[in-house]
C-alpha cells in the first residue's frame, strides 16, 4: 500500500511500531459476517459500516488504528509487506520474555471448554502500551512504552460485524492456529491492567496485526 511504517528493534526482533493498514477491500457489518461464515478474508475499519475503501482510508480510526482483520485474512492473504510476516505465537513469546523476563503465568479458564488455556505476562502490557490517555481510557495502568512498541487500543470487530472496546483494549493476532478447534492465538492489552493476556479465539473475529521482519 506504499505506506512507510515506523519500526522498532526489540532484542533480536524488528517489529512494526504501529498496526498494519493493508486494506485491499473493506466490508460492511453484514459483509464481514458473510466473509467469516464462508471462511474468506474480512477487513474492517473501526466504526465504519460500509464497503468503500477510499472512504474508509480517510477515517481517523484508520489513520490512528489501522485495520481489523479476521483470521482468514491472516491465513490466506499474506497481509504483511514483502520481507515481513504475521508473527507466530512463539515469536510473541520471544518478545514478551525479552521485555518481562520470568513473569509468565500459565492458566486455564475454569468456566471454559476442556483445554481452554492460555496465560499472562505480569508487566509486559505496560511496557508495550502507548502512554497517556490521548488514545487509551484512564487509567492506562502501567503504561511506559519502554520499548517504543506503542500499542494503541484498537478494540475488535465481532464476527457478526459490530465493533466494540475502542480506547479500552487492544487485540493482536498471531499466525498460530489450532485447526482441530478452529481457534488461533492472540494477545490482549487493556487500559485496566498492565498484563498481556495470551489466549485464543475463533477465526471470524476482527483483530489488529503487527508485522515482524523475516
Cβ atoms 26, 43 nearer than 8 A: yes
Give every CB contact of residue 150 below 8 A, 6+ residues apart in sequence: 8, 17, 18, 128, 129, 130
Peptide bond into 112 cis (omega under 30): no
Q: What is the pLDDT, as a whole number, of residue 114?
A: 45
- Host domain of residue 153: 7-213
Q: What is the pLDDT, as a whole number, of residue 108?
A: 67
Q: What share of the chain is helix, strand, coil (3-state, %, to 5)?
A: 20, 30, 50
How many domains does the chain divide into?
Answer: 1
d(CA 83, CA 96): 22
pTM, whole model, 2 decimals? 0.94
β-strand 68-69 against 156-157: which pairing, if any?
Answer: unpaired
d(CA 51, CA 164): 19
Give every CB contact of residue 100 below 8 A, 6+ residues apart in sequence: 121, 122, 123, 124, 127, 196
pLDDT tens-place values along the chain, 214 residues long: 789 999 999 999 999 999 999 999 999 999 999 999 999 999 999 999 999 999 999 999 999 999 999 999 999 999 999 999 999 999 999 999 999 999 999 876 655 554 567 899 999 999 999 999 999 999 999 999 999 999 999 999 999 999 999 999 999 999 999 777 789 999 999 999 999 999 999 999 999 999 999 9
**Is 144 inside any structural domain?**
yes
**Is 2 inside any structural domain?**
no
**Is 60 inside any structural domain?**
yes
**Is 153 inside any structural domain?**
yes
**Is 165 inside any structural domain?**
yes
Q: What is the pLDDT, as a whole number, of residue 111?
A: 52
**Is 134 inside any structural domain?**
yes
- Buried residues in 79-94 as b, exposed as e (16+ CB within 10 A): bbbeebbbbebebbbe
Amino acid at each position: 500500500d506504499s505506506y512507510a511504517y515506523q519500526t522498532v528493534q526489540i532484542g533480536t526482533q524488528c517489529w512494526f511500531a504501529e498496526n498494519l493498514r493493508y486494506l485491499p477491500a473493506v466490508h460492511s457489518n453484514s459483509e464481514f459476517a458473510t466473509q467469516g461464515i464462508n471462511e474468506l478474508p474480512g477487513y474492517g475499519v473501526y466504526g465504519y459500516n460500509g464497503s468503500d475503501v477510499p472512504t474508509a482510508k480517510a477515517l481517523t480510526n484508520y489513520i490512528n488504528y489501522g485495520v481489523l482483520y479476521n483470521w482468514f485474512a491472516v491465513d490466506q492473504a499474506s497481509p504483511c509487506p514483502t520481507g515481513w510476516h504475521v508473527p507466530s505465537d512463539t515469536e510473541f513469546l520471544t518478545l514478551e520474555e525479552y521485555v518481562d523476563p520470568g513473569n509468565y503465568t500459565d492458566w486455564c479458564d475454569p468456566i471454559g471448554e476442556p483445554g481452554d488455556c492460555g496465560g499472562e505476562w505480569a508487566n509486559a502490557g505496560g511496557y508495550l502500551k502507548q502512554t497517556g490517555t490521548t488514545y487509551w481510557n484512564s487509567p492506562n495502568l502501567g503504561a511506559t512504552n519502554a520499548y517504543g512498541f506503542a500499542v494503541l487500543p484498537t478494540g475488535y470487530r465481532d464476527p457478526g460485524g459490530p465493533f466494540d472496546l475502542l480506547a479500552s483494549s487492544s487485540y493482536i493476532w498471531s499466525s498460530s492456529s489450532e485447526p482441530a478447534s478452529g481457534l488461533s492465538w492472540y494477545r490482549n492489552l487493556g487500559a485496566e491492567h498492565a498484563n498481556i493476556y495470551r489466549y485464543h479465539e475463533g477465526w471470524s473475529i476482527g483483530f489488529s496485526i503487527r508485522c515482524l521482519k523475516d
